[in-house]
Structure 1
Amino acid sequence: MTVVTAADLQAPLAEEIRSLVDARISDRPFGVQLDATPAQTYRIVCDSLIAGHVYYALASGQAATADELYALGRQIPWHRHMTADTYFAISATGGTEQLRHTGFIATRLKDAIVDHFRERDSRRPSIDTEQPDLRLHCHITAQGHTNISIELSEGSLHRRGYRQLGGLAPLRENLAAGILWRARWPQLAQNGAALFDPMCGSGTLLIEAALRLTGLPPAMRARRLGSPGWLGHDTAARQAVLDQSAPLIEPADAPLLIGRDIDGEQIATARENARLAEVDHLIDFQVADAWAQPCPTPLEGHDTGLLISNLPYGHRLDAYTSTETPDWGPLIDAWQRCFNGWHWAVLLPEGMGQRWPLRYERAFPFDHGGIAIELIRGTFDTKSRREAPGPIGLANKLANAAEQARELVDPTPFANRLQKNFRHVKRQAEREGLCCFRVYDADLPDFNLAIDLYRDEQGETWADIQEYRAPHSVDPQLARGRLAVAVHQAMETLELAPNHAVVRQRRRQTGQDQYQKITQERLERVVIEGGTRLRINLTDYLDTGLFLDHRQVRDRVAELARGKRLLNLFCYTATASVRAAHQGAAQTLSIDLSNTYLDWAEDNFALNDIPTGNAHQLLRADVLDWLNQRQQGPYRPDRYDVIFCDPPTFSNSKSMADTLDIQRDHVTLVQQCMHLLAPEGTLIFSNNLKGFKLSPSLTDEYQINDLSRKTLPMDFARTPHRRSVFEIRHRNDA
């Protein structure tokens, strides 16, 4: 048997299955494998809350090509598993160079099955993807190792069936179950612990906690059994498992599960979901503001418990606070008074745990719908309160830990590479008169970080060290040790003054994340690029306010816009507009959705004694909506001599009218820009999507010059494929 689950849930799954069945279990990167009796198999399908799919292996072998896959499929005695009257469906994952499409993989395996039956009795089974009698699954690795299996679970087991309504960014059910396992809820529940979620949303964590106590309801358990038409079922064992009650956790006292949320609609949804899961009698859901009512009355005097919550971030923050970053301090102080001795576990965006005001004992990474998050857990006590270090404090803390980290990490390869890079790039930067440049960019796989140097107008040098998230396969302690060694080595090699290094963690930005502060240290400096003064912030945001890889692009925009009209879309801190205005642009219009960045842009204009409001305007707007409005209507839109459009790779900000996917949407975006471009004008279109491909339709319609290589600064030459830059003009065909 193979039981698979989502990334980051493999270890909890293995532990859970060991608690369900007495069998020899092997951990795998995708879940677990085991030899199981039919009864044990049905028990896992019916009662595992963390599993995703359960497969029974029919055959495995090498199948890197279509013919090899067909041959492997023909080796299986299909008449032992199904009849010619069976309706079946095939799903496929993975693939090789020759088997790239999962649909084709499924089709080729279907051919093997059909031919098997045609040769036996001239009849064949049929495909039914909606309600098949038998579900088959084929997984092929990149090297061609292939497994063909029967899926004994009815689709993905995370779909319990109780969540008819979702809240804002609800957790998947099996992810919530895995998180509760990591938070040690089963052990705590046995000892009579209460459970409290102060910002429960639609209640998934509480409902899964209750199901861990009661087991799934009988009807829900029965619905999880798939492939009813498989001839290999042990019907007696299957029925025996269904007749047995689900495994229970028996608390020492009556369970006390409390959920609170400020949003009444969310609480109504949570109550309905709990009713459908048949655990509504166990959970007390009420509307309450966590900051105003941090300690629910039913929990007073309860000395054992677990406070757990998927804390609000991104869009969910708006329901709780009007500020970009909530002040957790007063709330945590209240929790410490109310729940002294309790355990706690909270979900936060990846990297935010470093700024959580409580010391924690463990951190576990998870993936929540493409968003990297982490669960941190600890205990409320008088010694747990701390102030998390900001980027400067983190740099110093890591540097101090470097000596101990050398027991795990050899610093020599990183030190040699950084010294070599620094000597080369520094000479080039001095020749070109650069203030800011990159000296290291994930050159070595074991040291996955970037280091930028900024020299301010006072002559001080600062290092911005950006850590890229280590893969899940890398031990977190080892990754931390590598970072500590790298930070210490950077401080020495780059000859930095004390407190002149900052460390921040790069992560995927979604929605409003890119606009939100990560600290309040406010380390701001002024640098000079091309004679223009620009303000940077080295601590408070994910980026400094100056994209160094666009240095030569800004040079090009300023050159083209001299004496002309410039439109800067997705302007960020408007550094390109300020450069252009300082070098003689007649007019500039800079548009962005963020008030934070537009205020920053106004500061940049002011630093160069350039007034805003007349010739040089700043506009807060959704760029997509603003462009759409100018494609229609009776008026003739303004024309611009130069347009600089540097959109994000993807954006789903709540303030935007639509989502933006740059690979999908770039044709429309370019065409809308060209509609506003003067006949002899130039559009500079750039983006940072790795592997971006410009549509051939644009090449046919416009005159396009690829400047990606020509505008690539020498300090970014090691990573040339991270950005694309195109110069686009109208064709002047007669």
Structure 2
Amino acid sequence: MSDRYEIFLTCPKSLEGLLLDEAGSLGLEDAREQTAAVRGFADLETAYRLCLWSRLANRVLLVLKRFPTQDAESLYQGVREVDWADHLEPDGSLAVEFSGLGSGIDNTHFGALKVKDAIVDALRTAEGLRPSVEKLDPDLRVHLRLERGEAILSLDLSGHSLHQRGYRLQQGAAPLKENLAAAILIRAGWPKLAAEGGALADPMCGVGTFLVEAGMIAADMAPNLKREKWGFSNWLGHVPALWSRLHEEAEARARIGLARTPAWIRGYEADPRLIQPGRNNIERAGLSAWIKLYQGELATFEPRPDQNQKGLVVCNPPYGERLGDEASLLYLYQHLGERLRQACLGWQAAVFTGAPELGKRMGLRSHKQYAFWNGALPCKLLLFKVQLEQFVTGERRERDAGEREAPGEEQGGQGREPKPAVAQAARLTEGGQMFANRLQKNLRQLGKWARREGVSCYRLYDADMPEYALAVDLYGDWVHVQEYAPPRSIDPEKAQARWLDALAAIPQTLGVDPARVAIKRRERQSGTRQYERQGAQGQFLEVREGGVKLLVNLTDYLDTGLFLDHRPMRLRIQREAAGKRFLNLFCYTATATVHAAKGGARATTSVDLSKTYLDWARRNLALNGFSDKQRLEQGDVMAWLAEDRGEYDLIFIDPPTFSNSKRLDDVFDVQRDHVRLLDLAMARLAPGGVLYFSNNFRKFQLDEGISTRYAVAEISAETLDPDFARNPRIHRAWRLSAV
């Protein structure tokens, strides 16, 4: 079979250069690139080899004829002149694919129809036999492309696109095509690493496409070895003996490859729904002995190869609808960079993303970048060498690379010792100095406790002196000040003067830049005004608590997103969450959920009516490397509970005193409605489970009937840290379980 054919290999845009190299290595001669294709010349054996071994091509097209065409009639005649009896039986089936416009063809459907008519008319017999059209599984798939007045008529030897290897019957929400995944691995240097015995890990593997493609490369498996149906299977020009020899050679290479010591290839996926489909894909590919897939969050990702070998971390983080809003993605990429620095020193990393600006926030410098297209979406492949000298902090990435944070230094100044008061105290009024003295006293006492306990955010002052009715909270190197509305018995002018005295004293006493003092007026009130938006600066500050990172906003809302008084409750939940199903009702920004996930909760569900706070919750989870495995549900808690049929081992409820959102059918009143709320929630509590209930309504009384139905213990005193010891009425809390 020495006939030489013109061959077109089609591929996704941006893979042309890689495909050119691959096709040349497989025997394609005189090859050159075109847009989304490579053109060259080969005999039938090479064409078969390209079908079997190309990891990058979509289709292998064997050109039957090129001819000029001016109109539909010349197109018809040019196609009909081919001796179709050499290619298809009269009663066979065909499908026609048509691309390009011109020469009087302004509709691809019309062009395909003319090509089909020409083939059918050429094969029609006197007895009335004629080929039929079969789009899904034809005996022959014909392709015609119009290109600058010339028709290129080809047979599609591949049949279905070559990226459809046959192993991936189940896929995730945003899958990469197999040939694009292979191209990414090739660009990342995996073939060389695999040959040297390197390892590969994917921390967000979905259903395992990178893993399988990497395994086939390492094991020298032809990517289309398991395909049973080809475009040439029923082509009359097919030479079965030639194909069988090539296929047997590929099977022999795969047997030899799989008999070698398996490459260490591991995938980790947070979503439990994708684990079994991923393992099924790996099994169908014949690589179960080489590839292992585990359920795991990015927060716990740490590749541990058997022989301590280094290798490649490859992943395709979400960059669109799969995770949520842009802020969540930002923190996910930051956390990915952190995990690479902490767990993958000496490895290489390849991050494929449609949001390269997020890649810049990983805190690593890419030494190479490649442009790709994922369908119609422009993407970048960022390559990293995870080495100490490559690190760039997210805040300083545009500044001198020589600047480094001190070892162990954490953003937010955990347990910091504020600067001493500056020599401006003489400017304070007598009242202002009195207020400053109280701040200094509190700072000496609480500062020691905060440093000892590793607390970076705490309440320093809460209307300790009635005439100075404000709350002062420290958030790392920021100060958050809330003024309570003075009683009507206080002269407004005196109240205003004291307020100004306090504002003058705070920066001096705490040694902070006044620009880092966030000021709000807060009235003691009911309803939902505490959740109303106050500004639109959109500035989020990252703080730390109990080993997790949380986002606060000191400017845009009356509350910051972190209820400081619930710190002991959140840490209790973290300690008790291991292996449990956690439910957080009225979850706000889901800080308790983050703690539960950090503590090893098997699953978490968080419910709130506000989309704004659920988006914030999503950011908090992503910041810590936790994914959509942690369910966030928008809805009225009472209605949601009435419909839910889940079972939970640990439940936390911290409702507002009142809620009169327009989306509620009725006003929520914690005193009036807590009995029904607790009954609904206890119905969802698993045997042996625990429910924690708290609220900050100062006149609240727990209904006596609750204690007759459940085991109830008030734990309010246990849920207050020293910074709220002066205000024990800040909230009350109970522990409930089944009797």
Partner SS, residue 383 of structure 1: helix
Per the alignment, do residues 328 and 113 of structure 1 end up closer, same or farther by CA in structure 2, a change over 3 Å counting? Answer: closer
Q: Distance in 1 between matches of 2:203 and 2:307?
A: 15
Residue of structure 2 in register with 1:725 after alignment? none
Determine if the alignment matches structure 1 residue 263 to structure 2 residue 271: yes
Residue of structure 1 in register with 2:153 after alignment? 148
Q: Distance in 2 between matches of 1:327 and 1:154?
A: 40
Asked if the contact 2:53/2:223 (under 8 Å) is kept, the reply is no
Choose from 236, 240, 243 the match for 1:231.
236
Q: Distance in 1 between matches of 2:183 and 2:373?
A: 12
Residue of structure 2 in register with 1:364 after alignment? 370
Residues 100-119 of structure 1: per-residue CA shift (max 9 Å, x gap): 32221111012222332348
Q: Distance in 2 between matches of 1:100 and 1:183?
A: 42
Asked if the contact 2:75/2:114 (under 8 Å) is kept, the reply is yes
Choose from 6, 11, 36 the match for 2:12.
6
Q: Distance in 1 between matches of 2:33 and 2:539?
A: 41
Residue of structure 2 in register with 1:77 after alignment? 83
Q: Distance in 1 between matches of 2:329 and 2:351?
A: 19
Q: Distance in 1 between matches of 2:367 and 2:319?
A: 22
Q: Distance in 1 between matches of 2:376 and 2:537?
A: 28
Asked if the contact 1:190/1:250 (under 8 Å) is kept, the reply is no
1:129 to partner: Cα distance: 2.2
Q: Distance in 1 between matches of 2:223 and 2:168?
A: 17
Per the alignment, do residues 138 and 536 of structure 1 end up closer, same or farther by CA in structure 2, a change over 3 Å counting? Answer: farther
Q: How does 1:207-356 map to 2 (within 5 A)?
A: 207-216=212-221, 220-223=225-228, 225-246=230-251, 254-291=262-299, 293-298=300-305, 301-302=308-309, 304-317=310-323, 323=328, 325-326=330-331, 328-329=333-334, 331-352=336-357, 353-356=359-362
Asked if the contact 1:90/1:136 (under 8 Å) is kept, the reply is yes
Asked if the contact 1:39/1:237 (under 8 Å) is kept, the reply is yes
Amino acid at match of 2:199: A
Amino acid at match of 1:94: G
Determine if the alignment matches structure 1 residue 87 to structure 2 residue 93: yes
Asked if the contact 1:195/1:258 (under 8 Å) is kept, the reply is yes
Q: Distance in 2 between matches of 1:185 and 1:219?
A: 19
Q: Distance in 2 between matches of 1:386 and 1:377?
A: 15
Partner SS, residue 99 of structure 1: coil
Percent identity for Structure 1 against Structure 2: 29
1:297 to partner: Cα distance: 3.5
Q: Distance in 1 between matches of 2:209 and 2:392?
A: 30
1:377 to partner: Cα distance: 0.7
Determine if the alignment matches structure 1 residue 44 to structure 2 residue 50: yes
Per the alignment, do residues 36 and 361 of structure 1 end up closer, same or farther by CA in structure 2, a change over 3 Å counting? Answer: same
Q: Distance in 2 between matches of 1:187 and 1:167?
A: 29
State the TM-score, normalized to the length of structure 1: 0.50
Per the alignment, do residues 321 and 243 of structure 1 end up closer, same or farther by CA in structure 2, a change over 3 Å counting? Answer: same
Q: How does 1:139-218 map to 2 (within 5 A)?
A: 139-141=145-147, 143-216=148-221
Residues 432-489 of structure 1: per-residue CA shift (max 9 Å, x gap): xxxxxxxxxxxxxxxxxxxxxxxxxxxxxxxxxxxxxxxxxxxxxxxxxxxxxxxxxx
User: Number of residues paired by the alignment?
Assistant: 408
Q: Distance in 2 between matches of 1:209 and 1:9?
A: 17
Residues 195-233 of structure 1: per-residue CA shift (max 9 Å, x gap): 010111111110111122235579844425213232222
Partner SS, residue 330 of structure 2: coil
1:310 to partner: Cα distance: 0.6
Partner SS, residue 278 of structure 1: coil
Q: Distance in 1 between matches of 2:332 and 2:223?
A: 44
Determine if the alignment matches structure 1 residue 68 to structure 2 residue 67: no
Partner SS, residue 325 of structure 1: helix
Asked if the contact 1:157/1:224 (under 8 Å) is kept, the reply is no
1:598 to partner: Cα distance: 13
Q: Distance in 2 between matches of 1:95 and 1:135?
A: 20
Determine if the alignment matches structure 1 residue 30 to structure 2 residue 36: yes
1:323 to partner: Cα distance: 3.6
Gap runs ≥5 in structure 1 = 398-521, 523-534, 541-592, 600-619, 622-734
Partner SS, residue 376 of structure 1: strand
RMSD, aligned α-carbons: 3.8
Q: Distance in 2 between matches of 1:219 and 1:343?
A: 28
Determine if the alignment matches structure 1 residue 17 to structure 2 residue 23: yes
Determine if the alignment matches structure 1 residue 117 to structure 2 residue 123: yes
Partner SS, residue 367 of structure 1: strand
Asked if the contact 1:354/1:389 (under 8 Å) is kept, the reply is no
Q: How does 1:91-106 map to 2 (within 5 A)?
A: 91-96=97-102, 98-106=104-112
Q: Distance in 2 between matches of 1:282 and 1:199?
A: 18
Residue of structure 2 in register with 1:376 after alignment? 382
Asked if the contact 2:91/2:130 (under 8 Å) is kept, the reply is yes
Amino acid at match of 2:303: P
1:240 to partner: Cα distance: 1.0
Per the alignment, do residues 322 and 265 of structure 1 end up closer, same or farther by CA in structure 2, a change over 3 Å counting? Answer: farther
Amino acid at match of 2:289: H
Per the alignment, do residues 314 and 27 of structure 1 end up closer, same or farther by CA in structure 2, a change over 3 Å counting? Answer: closer
Partner SS, residue 164 of structure 2: coil
Q: Distance in 1 between matches of 2:229 and 2:176?
A: 20
Q: Distance in 2 between matches of 1:309 and 1:360?
A: 14
Partner SS, residue 317 of structure 1: coil
Q: Distance in 1 between matches of 2:332 and 2:140?
A: 53
Residue of structure 1 in register with 2:713 after alignment? none
Moved more, 214-223 or 234-243: 214-223
State the TM-score, normalized to the length of structure 2: 0.50
Determine if the alignment matches structure 1 residue 135 to structure 2 residue 134: no
Q: Distance in 1 between matches of 2:97 and 2:386?
A: 47
Per the alignment, do residues 120 and 62 of structure 1 end up closer, same or farther by CA in structure 2, a change over 3 Å counting? Answer: farther
Q: Distance in 2 between matches of 1:124 and 1:330?
A: 62
Asked if the contact 1:47/1:215 (under 8 Å) is kept, the reply is no
Asked if the contact 2:157/2:230 (under 8 Å) is kept, the reply is yes
Q: How does 1:499-518 map to 2 (within 5 A)?
A: none
Residues 673-707 of structure 1: per-residue CA shift (max 9 Å, x gap): xxxxxxxxxxxxxxxxxxxxxxxxxxxxxxxxxxx
Per the alignment, do residues 379 and 64 of structure 1 end up closer, same or farther by CA in structure 2, a change over 3 Å counting? Answer: farther
Partner SS, residue 378 of structure 1: strand
Moved more, 321-330 or 343-352: 321-330
Asked if the contact 1:171/1:204 (under 8 Å) is kept, the reply is yes
Per the alignment, do residues 159 and 330 of structure 1 end up closer, same or farther by CA in structure 2, a change over 3 Å counting? Answer: closer
Partner SS, residue 55 of structure 1: strand
Q: Distance in 2 between matches of 1:179 and 1:212?
A: 12
Q: Distance in 2 between matches of 1:598 and 1:166?
A: 26
Partner SS, residue 65 of structure 2: strand
Per the alignment, do residues 96 and 9 of structure 1 end up closer, same or farther by CA in structure 2, a change over 3 Å counting? Answer: same
Per the alignment, do residues 333 and 89 of structure 1 end up closer, same or farther by CA in structure 2, a change over 3 Å counting? Answer: closer
1:363 to partner: Cα distance: 1.6
Amino acid at match of 1:146: A
Asked if the contact 1:218/1:242 (under 8 Å) is kept, the reply is no
Per the alignment, do residues 85 and 197 of structure 1 end up closer, same or farther by CA in structure 2, a change over 3 Å counting? Answer: same
Q: Distance in 2 between matches of 1:240 and 1:146?
A: 34
Q: Distance in 1 between matches of 2:261 and 2:327?
A: 40
